[in-house]
Amino acid sequence: MSDLIVVDNPKHWPLHVPGAELVAARDYLTRDRFVDLKRAKVFNLCRTYGYQTIGYYVSLLAAARGHRPLPSVATIQDLRQTPLLRIVSEDLEDVVQRTLAPIKSKRFELSIYFGRNVAKRYDRLAKALFNHFPAPLLRAEFIQLDQWRLQALRPIALTDIPEAHRDFVIEQAESYFDRPHRSQPTRPRYELAVLINPDEVDSPSDERALARFERAAKRLKMATTFVERQDYGRIGEFDGLFIRETTYVNHHTYRFARRAEAEGLVVIDDSESIIRCTNKVYQAELFDKRDIPCPKTLVVHRDNRAEVSQALGFPCVLKRPDSSFSAGVVKAEDEASLAAHLDAFFDKSELVVAQEFLRSSFDWRVGVLGRKALFVCRYHMARGHWQIQKALDEKRRSYGKVDTIGLEDAPDGLLDVAVRAAGLIGDGLYGVDVKEVDGRFFVMEINDNPNIEAGCEDAVAKDALWDALAGYFLTRIEQRGRGATHVG
């Protein structure tokens, strides 16, 4: 993949980056060599990105050609939306208030050069804003009312940079372009980002599993870069995003998915799947309307809470709408515990999902990828517990054993019901939890971001499982080219 630095006039650009080509904006827009170039990363450093300006068209046509522009048109449009700036300001409120607290004036301007500021004390705020609005050169304006507020954020041209800042800007640009993943001896076909959180207790994939995915991608000539929360601003550099961190809607994982989709990446888990899978109220309605076999279920609010015991009996299971992997799921044994659990849940959510309790020694977990079964496991209950996971404290978990079987050995009907249920969510990667009672299968829930750990879910398929995941990314990237809407 070629690296292109596109500027209005190369004669006025003071920076030389080894391995990158400096291109005049009008040449990039009109010359056949760039029109026909198959793959490129385009660093758009034009003077302005206003609608229908040269800078705007550089990013727009870069996306149309299958190139990777920074900033993208999505970022350019975001910078023009005042309501979005207000939302981002709220999201970053803590870092804004703490960073600007010592300032006595009522206004403050922050210059952001490739995510950095000349003063180290403002670096965290500069990086945070760059992560939300990945553009090379930015200026943020803050005003102090009852507290500090982000008033405006705009791209700036090289000519807007004070002379005293020029050396720093050149240094940061060279550092940005000289990232380690850019100096590989051979260029990969595509580049994948894998979002992880090294400190997460219930991470969906362990280090060995991630290494196996990395090797599978390499076999298909794709490079893998592991990114974390602070790398939000880098997502536009990649062709695909694989989220291997527990997802929530009101969370940076969802924002990563949305940003990646806006940048034209293939995404697992896509934002729509995150919304649908992380809310059990949605799934209860979906199963009911689409005739998916499931336990008897009641969506509970404050006015119908008295109906639970009569409708479901005891024991019954209560689920917080955004529960995941046994967290936020409790069992009510009688009226007293039911009342206590509902009171606690209603403090956080207006609705609660209640289900009849189906007793079993294990849950089936069917992994589904692209509307096809990927793996089948039995998740046995944790010792002395009614769930597959038992929290011992904040950082320790007890799990039941995992038995993985071949797809061909799955009982009749299990894969069909799991694949059909997952297909109602999308065609990405899902983990479908199913209970078997008297030979009948009941779908308990569909999870995005399912656990895939080395020696567990891949125990039977081994490398073939990881090859299928890497192949999914390769196929989807090549099917749709760059800049299309997300798939999966």
State yes or no: pLDDT of 417 exceeds 60: yes
- Percentage of residues in the chain having pLDDT higher than 70: 92
Residue 269 preceded by cis peptide, ω within 30: yes
Which residues 6+ apart lie within 8 Å of 294 measured at CB? 284, 287, 288, 355, 442, 443, 444
pLDDT of residue 303: 94
Q: pLDDT category, 266, cuts 50, 70, 90? A: very high
Q: Determine the length of the chain.
A: 488
pLDDT of residue 272: 94
State yes or no: pLDDT of 485 exceeds 60: no
pLDDT of residue 396: 67
Q: In whole angstroms, what is the distance from residue 189 CA to residue 236 CA?
A: 16
Least Cα distance to 324 among 448, 442, 454, 453 occurs for: 448
Q: For 189-269, CATH number?
A: 3.40.50.20
Least Cα distance to 255 among 278, 232, 277, 238 occurs for: 232
Q: Where in the chain is the domain with CATH 3.40.250?
A: 2-76
Least confident of 81-95, 226-240, 272-286, 341-355: 81-95
Q: For 2-76, CATH number?
A: 3.40.250
For 384-401, what is the mean pLDDT? 71
State yes or no: pLDDT of 405 exceeds 90: yes
Q: What amino acid is encoded at 357 in this protein?
A: F
Q: Where in the chain is the domain with CATH 3.30.470?
A: 79-177
Q: Where in the chain is the domain with CATH 3.40.50.20?
A: 189-269
The answer to whether the CB of 216 falls within 8 A of the CB of 259 is no
The predicted-structure confidence for 65-88, as pLDDT tens digits, reads as follows 888 898 988 888 888 776 766 777
State yes or no: pLDDT of 221 exceeds 60: yes
Q: In whole angstroms, what is the distance from residue 239 CA to residue 193 CA?
A: 8
pTM equals: 0.76
Most confident of 80-89, 95-104, 205-214, 328-337: 205-214
pLDDT of residue 321: 82
State yes or no: pLDDT of 254 exceeds 70: yes
pLDDT of residue 327: 61
Q: What is the mean pLDDT of the chain?
A: 88
The predicted-structure confidence for 141-179, as pLDDT tens digits, reads as follows 999 988 898 888 988 887 788 889 988 988 888 888 765
The answer to whether the CB of 70 falls within 8 A of the CB of 6 is no
pLDDT of residue 183: 42
pLDDT of residue 170: 83
Angle in degrees, CA 46, 50, 52, rounded to 5: 95
- In order of 55, 245, 320, 456, the CA distances from 204 in angstroms are 41, 6, 20, 12
Least Cα distance to 401 among 448, 343, 453 occurs for: 453
The predicted-structure confidence for 188-202, as pLDDT tens digits, reads as follows 889 999 999 999 988
pLDDT of residue 483: 40
Q: In whole angstroms, what is the distance from residue 455 CA to residue 408 CA?
A: 19
pLDDT of residue 68: 86
State yes or no: pLDDT of 267 exceeds 90: yes
State yes or no: pLDDT of 391 exceeds 70: no
Task: Give the CA count within 13 Å in the CB-facing half-sphere of 175.
Answer: 11
Helix (H) or strand (E) holding 112, with range, is: strand 107-113
The answer to whether the CB of 293 falls within 8 A of the CB of 441 is yes
Helix (H) or strand (E) holding 276, with range, is: helix 271-277
Alpha helix locations (H) across 178-240?
A: 207-219
Phi, psi of 248 (to 5 degrees): -145, 160
The predicted-structure confidence for 421-432, as pLDDT tens digits, reads as follows 999 999 999 999
State yes or no: pLDDT of 451 exceeds 90: yes
The predicted-structure confidence for 86-102, as pLDDT tens digits, reads as follows 777 666 888 999 999 99
Topology of the domain covering 79-177: D-amino Acid Aminotransferase; Chain A, domain 1 (3.30.470)
Q: pLDDT category, 38, cuts 50, 70, 90? A: confident
pLDDT of residue 487: 39
State yes or no: pLDDT of 271 exceeds 70: yes
Q: In whole angstroms, what is the distance from residue 131 CA to residue 265 CA?
A: 17
Query: Which residue is it, tokens 């059990």?
Result: 280
pLDDT of residue 126: 94
For 473-483, what is the mean pLDDT? 79
Q: pLDDT category, 488, cuts 50, 70, 90? A: very low
pLDDT of residue 236: 83
Higher per-residue confidence, 131 vs 458:
458
Residue 59: count other Cβ atoms within 10 Å of its Cβ.
Answer: 24
Q: pLDDT category, 181, cuts 50, 70, 90? A: very low
pLDDT of residue 93: 86
* DSSP 8-state code for residue 427: S
Query: And the tokens for 76?
Result: 């350019």
For 402-407, what is the mean pLDDT? 96
For 369-391, what is the mean pLDDT? 86
Q: pLDDT category, 482, cuts 50, 70, 90? A: very low
State yes or no: pLDDT of 184 exceeds 70: no
Q: In whole angstroms, what is the distance from residue 1 CA to residue 38 CA?
A: 8
The answer to whether the CB of 354 falls within 8 A of the CB of 308 is yes
* DSSP 8-state code for residue 486: P
